[in-house]
Amino acid sequence: MVEVSIISTEIIKPSSPTPDHLRTYKLSLLDQISSQKYYSFVHFYSGPCETSTLKAALSNTLTHYYPFAGRVHDDFSIVCDDTGATFIEAKVSGDVSDILKRPQNEVMEHLVPQQQSTTNHEILAVQLNRFNCGGVAISVGFRHVVADAVAAANFIKTWATLASATGADITENVVYDCTSIFPPQDISGVPINHMRSSQGITLKRFVFDCSNISALRQEFGNQTTRFQVLAALVWGAVISAKRATNHEYEPNAMSIATLPINLRKKADSDSVSAPIPDQCIGNIISPAIAFCPIKDTVDYKILAAKLQESISRISMESVKKTSADGSRLLRGRGTSKNNNQRSMLMISSLCRLPFYDTDFGWGKPVWVTIVRPEYDDSAVFFDTRDGKGIELWIQLPEQDMAVFEQDPTILAYASFNPSVSV
């Protein structure tokens, strides 16, 4: 186990003050029903870095992403008061290669900003970890209420670009008011369950290489995307595991797969509102939902078709209609599940996001990963460094994981936690 010692903690403020007329960032309904908790990404680099450069670039970046330097005010808004973001510098025993030999999420949890190091309503926190070898790991924690994974990836890339010697064009249209599209609502009486169990949950990493992904796509039909193929494979293995470990499921019990879909690229057919900018902050996502009976025999091609169909149903128009009164979205977040009637798996793809384009001036990262997902039953897909393979972090109850990792399809196509080459 590595030891992490905090060297310093300070607050980084935007390089220019936020104008008075921009001092309130309004939350849309999609922001309101997202989590209030932090999630973090860690970027590992084999070379050294200059702390002052990172801080100066972070300050400049916060000027453009000014809500990230503010504080959560209530269920409807962020106060953009330039309070700033926490910047922590830490010393880590050992080398970067020690972690990458066999990555363990439990170890990486020590490399991200801890709760006691940040304020209760803070939006953004950074931790710079220095290893004995001279390498570093830069972790960035975001409060989900104002940043989905797309916003997070774009923020980190912008920060890195401003820190690099080459410089860059300033990102435009970062802050976009989505309240006209997804009007906020009073959700104070609706319980939104984002809690993660602390007992009996395990998280493991698997890697699918390019050749296995290609073989699967040929088997499923090349019209199915890489993500849909692997999502179907994982969903099927989870269904089998649930059936094997829980013999009390009712005859009509269903497995539900939810897939967050980025709405930024979805066309608005009525053309009433301007397109949502690709790089804007916020939670511009809506879940595609697929259903399948929990049974012993799993047809992976049918699962892939169900996933593909559920994704195809998501459009800007459909989400706007659903969120018009908010009832269905709120019911989906607020109801508790009966374990004998259904099982829910959250499947997220962070592939094709620019995490590996984060060159702060000393080269691109040797590895990027997310720290422990928020949901007990969740699967997160991430690109490998070459962009050809895909990593899977999956979190399940221990008894389900024991069956999942022995599933023939997982054994045939995935490698369990291989080393990351530097």
Whole-Å CA distances, 175 to 80, 126, 168, 219, 391: 12, 21, 19, 43, 31
Spatial neighbors of 169 by CB under 8 A, at least 6 apart, are: none
pLDDT above 80 (res 94): yes
Q: Which of 75, 357, 359, 376 is catalytic?
A: 359
Whole-Å CA distances, 307 to 90, 230, 232: 42, 11, 7
CA nearest to 421, candidates 44, 9, 33, 34: 44
Q: Which of 144, 148, 400, 407 is catalytic?
A: 144
Give the tokens for residue 137.
């790991």
Is pTM beyond 0.85 here?
yes
pLDDT of residue 334: 42
**390 & 267 share domain:** yes
- Of 163, 193, 215, which closes a domain? 163
Q: Is 64 a catalytic residue?
A: no
Per residue in 229-272, pLDDT (tens digit) is 999 999 999 999 998 998 777 878 899 999 999 998 776 544 44
Of the chain, the percentage scoring pLDDT greater than 70 comes to 87
**229 & 310 share domain:** yes
Flag the least confident range among 98-112, 193-207, 233-247: 193-207
Are 419 and 209 in contact by the 8 Å Cβ rule? The answer is no
Q: Residue with structure tokens 């064009």?
A: 169
**266 & 385 share domain:** yes
pLDDT above 60 (res 195): no
Q: Rounded to an integer, what distance in angstroms lies between the CA atom of residue 33 and that of residue 75?
A: 9
Give the tokens for residue 332.
């989906």
Spatial neighbors of 180 by CB under 8 A, at least 6 apart, are: 273
pLDDT of residue 58: 97
**123 & 255 share domain:** no
Whole-Å CA distances, 265 to 276, 284, 285, 415: 8, 10, 10, 33
How remote is the C-alpha of 367 from its chain's centroid?
Answer: 16
Split at pLDDT 50, 70, 90, the class of 119 is: low
Residue 367 belongs to a domain: no
Q: Rounded to an integer, what distance in angstroms lies between the CA atom of residue 181 and that of residue 242?
A: 38
Flag the least confident range among 67-71, 173-177, 401-405: 173-177
Q: Rounded to an integer, what distance in angstroms lies between the CA atom of residue 349 and that of residue 233?
A: 14
- Of 137, 163, 189, which closes a domain? 163
Are 196 and 187 in contact by the 8 Å Cβ rule? The answer is no
- Of 163, 186, 213, which closes a domain? 163
Q: Is 144 a catalytic residue?
A: yes
Q: In terms of pLDDT, which residue wins out, 375 or 89?
A: 89
Per residue in 132-174, pLDDT (tens digit) is 999 999 999 999 999 999 999 999 999 999 998 665 556 678 9
Residue 172 belongs to a domain: no
Q: Number of folded domains in the chain?
A: 2
What range does the domain containing 333 cover? 201-352+374-416
105-109, 153-157, 184-188 — most confident range:
153-157
Q: Rounded to an integer, what distance in angstroms lies between the CA atom of residue 173 and that of residue 182?
A: 18
**159 & 209 share domain:** no
